[in-house]
A and B are shown apart, each in its own frame.
Chain A
C-alpha cells in the first residue's frame, strides 16, 4: 500500500468514527438528560431521579396519543403489506407494459413533500364531505407505509427463484399450497423488515397527520410537539427515551431474525 492510500484509509476511519459519534450522540444525551433531577437540561445531571418519568406517566393525553399512534401504525402497516405484496408480485412476475411505471409510482410517496401530500388529502376529504379523523389517518398512513413494503418486496421478489414453486407443484402441492409453503417463507425476511420500517415511519409521521387530526384524535408526534411548546421540561426527554427503547426492541427483533446487514439493503 502506498502512502497516499494509507492516509486516505486512515482519514476515512476518522470520518466514520466522527459519523458514529454524530449519529448516536444526540440519542445518548437525550437518555442521560431524562434521568436528571433538575428542571433545566444540565449535563451531566447533578442528581439522578425518575421524576420526569413520573411526570410523563401523569401527562394528560399521552396514553391516548400512544394508543392511537400504535393502532394507526399497526393497521396501516398490515393493509400496506397486503396491497404492496400483491402489487410487487404483479410487477416482478407480470409481462405487461408499464410495470416499471407502477413500481416508481408506488414508491414515489416516499420522496414527495409530506406536508403537500397532507394538504392535498385534507382538501380531497373535505371536498367529498368526509370528516372522520381516525379513518382519515388510517387511509393516509397506508400511503405512507406502502412505499416501504413495495421497495423491499420488489427487491426480494427479484431475488426469489420462482422455479421452486414449479418444483413444489411437481412434487404434488397445489398452486395455493406451493405459494404458502415455498413463496411465503422465502419472503418472510422482506415482510419483517419492510413491516418494521413501515411501522416506525407511521409512528413518526408528523407532516401528513397534522392536517388530518382533530381535538380527540392526536397522534404521538403531534402531542409531543404540543408538549414541547407548552412546557419544555425534561418530561419530553423521558418520552423520547421510551421511543428510543421501542426502536431498540424493534431493531433487536429485526437483527435477530434477519440480520442488521440485510435490514439496510
Chain B
C-alpha cells in the first residue's frame, strides 16, 4: 500500500501501454531467450549455442554480418556528417530540397528502395551502362550479389537516420563558440577538433548506434541484393524458422542477434550519459 501511494495518479496512465508491451513484446522475447537455453525439455542447455558457435560456417556469417553493419555505419557517417552541417546552414529552396531528400526515402519504405537498387545493380542496369559509356570498363561488372553492393544499398536506406540526429545537434551549435575559439588563437582545424567535433559527438553516437543496430538486423535488403550466396545472420534466422524448422538453432541465433542489439543500445546510451555528465 505504501509503495502504491508513492505512485501518483499519472503513473496509472502508463499502465495500459506497459501491460501491452509486457505481454506482446517483453514476455515473448523472454520466452525466446528461455527456449534458446533449453534443449529436449532440459534447462539450462547450451546445445543451440554450441551448434552455432562451434560451426565455422555460422561464425563466418556472424562475422560477415558485423563487418557489413560496420561498413554501412562508416559510409553513412562519412556522407551524413558534412550533409548535416549543410542542412543546418541552408535556407530556402536548398533547405527544402535536402529535407525532401531525407524524408521522402524514409516515407517510401525499404521494399521499394531495395527493389530500385536491384534494378540499378543489374549487369545491364544503369550503373553498368554508365561505367561502360565512360570507358571505365568494357564488360559489365557483376554488382548484384556482391558485398559492396549490399553496403551501398543499405547505407542508402539508413542514411537519413544518421543525418537527422547529427542535424539536431548541429542546429543548436552556437556559431559564436568557433569565433571565440579563433579569437583565442585556435586555427580552424584546431577549432573543429576541439570545439565542433566534441559538441556534435552526441548526434554522431546516437545516429551510429541506430544505423548499426538496424544494419545488423536488416533482412529485406540482403535477401534481395545478395541472396542466398552470402547470407547474413537475420537471413539464417529466417531460414531456420521458415524452411529448416530448426527452432533450437533459430532461437539461439535470435538470442545472439538480440544481445548484439541490446549491447549497442545500452553502450550508446551509457556513452551519451557520460558525455552529458562531463557536460559544460
Q: Is B11 a contact partner of A90 (Cβ separation < 8 A)?
A: yes
A123, chain B: closest CB distance, angstroms: 6
- In the bound complex, how far is the Cα of B27 from the Cα of A123, in angstroms? 11
Among B37-45, B197-205, B257-265, which stretch is in contact with chain A?
B257-265
> How many of chain B's residues touch chain A, expressed as a range?
35 or more
Q: Is B35 a contact partner of A123 (Cβ separation < 8 A)?
A: yes
- In the bound complex, how far is the Cα of B119 from the Cα of A30, in angstroms? 8
Closest B-chain residue to A222, C-beta based? B111
Q: Is residue A237 contacting chain B, with contact meaning CB distance below 8 A? A: yes
A55, chain B: closest CB distance, angstroms: 16
- In the bound complex, how far is the Cα of B262 from the Cα of A43, in angstroms? 43
Q: Is residue A265 contacting chain B, with contact meaning CB distance below 8 A? A: yes
- In the bound complex, how far is the Cα of B106 from the Cα of A197, in angstroms? 9
Across-interface contacts of A263 in B (CB, < 8 A)? 103
Across-interface contacts of A22 in B (CB, < 8 A)? 79, 156, 159
B75, chain A: closest CB distance, angstroms: 10
Complex partner residue of A24 from B16, B101, B237, CB under 8 angstroms = B101
Interface of A is mostly: helix
Across-interface contacts of A115 in B (CB, < 8 A)? 217, 219, 234, 237-238, 254, 257
Among B46-54, B55-63, B83-91, B135-143, which stretch is in contact with chain A?
B83-91
A241, chain B: closest CB distance, angstroms: 9
Q: Is residue A170 contacting chain B, with contact meaning CB distance below 8 A? A: no
A222, chain B: closest CB distance, angstroms: 9
Complex partner residue of A119 from B101, B124, B251, CB under 8 angstroms = B251
Across-interface contacts of A5 in B (CB, < 8 A)? 188
Across-interface contacts of B115 in A (CB, < 8 A)? 30, 224, 228, 236-237, 240
- In the bound complex, how far is the Cα of B32 from the Cα of A127, in angstroms? 11
Q: Is B250 a contact partner of A119 (Cβ separation < 8 A)?
A: yes
A209, chain B: closest CB distance, angstroms: 11
- In the bound complex, how far is the Cα of B127 from the Cα of A23, in angstroms? 15
Q: Is residue B160 contacting chain A, with contact meaning CB distance below 8 A? A: yes
Q: Is residue B193 contacting chain A, with contact meaning CB distance below 8 A? A: no
Among A46-54, A136-144, A180-188, which stretch is in contact with chain B?
A136-144
Known: A27-B108, A83-B20, A112-B261. A237 touches B10 (CB 8 A): no
- In the bound complex, how far is the Cα of B119 from the Cα of A254, in angstroms? 30
Across-interface contacts of B217 in A (CB, < 8 A)? 112-116, 207
Complex partner residue of A146 from B6, B21, B224, CB under 8 angstroms = B21
Across-interface contacts of B124 in A (CB, < 8 A)? 40-42
Q: Is B14 a contact partner of A113 (Cβ separation < 8 A)?
A: no
**In the complex, which of the residues B106, B115, B122, B224 has the most CB atoms of chain A within 10 Å of its own CB atom?**
B115
Q: Is B32 a contact partner of A106 (Cβ separation < 8 A)?
A: no
B274, chain A: closest CB distance, angstroms: 16
Q: Is residue A89 contacting chain B, with contact meaning CB distance below 8 A? A: yes
Closest A-chain residue to B238, C-beta based? A115
**In the complex, which of the residues B21, B96, B100 has the most CB atoms of chain A within 10 Å of its own CB atom?**
B21
- In the bound complex, how far is the Cα of B217 from the Cα of A196, in angstroms? 24
Q: Is A90 a contact partner of B12 (Cβ separation < 8 A)?
A: yes
**CB 8 Å contact bits of A185-197 with B (1 = contact, 0 = none):** 0000000000011
Q: Is B14 a contact partner of A120 (Cβ separation < 8 A)?
A: no
Q: Is residue B29 contacting chain A, with contact meaning CB distance below 8 A? A: yes
Interface positions of A from 15 to 34, Cβ below 8 Å from B: 15-16, 18-20, 22-24, 26-27, 29-30, 33
Across-interface contacts of B119 in A (CB, < 8 A)? 29-30, 33, 41, 237
Instruction: Give me 10 A-to-B residue pairs in the complex whose CB atoms sit less than 8 angstroms apart, sorted by A's number.
Output: A12-B85, A19-B159, A19-B163, A20-B97, A22-B156, A23-B104, A142-B24, A206-B110, A225-B224, A264-B102
**Additional 14 contacts, C-beta under 8 A, given A27-B116, A116-B29:** A4-B187, A4-B188, A4-B189, A16-B87, A43-B129, A106-B17, A111-B264, A113-B217, A121-B28, A124-B27, A207-B219, A228-B224, A240-B112, A260-B99
Among all A-B residue pairs, the 7 with the closest Cβ atoms: A113-B217, A204-B109, A94-B10, A26-B116, A12-B82, A90-B14, A90-B13
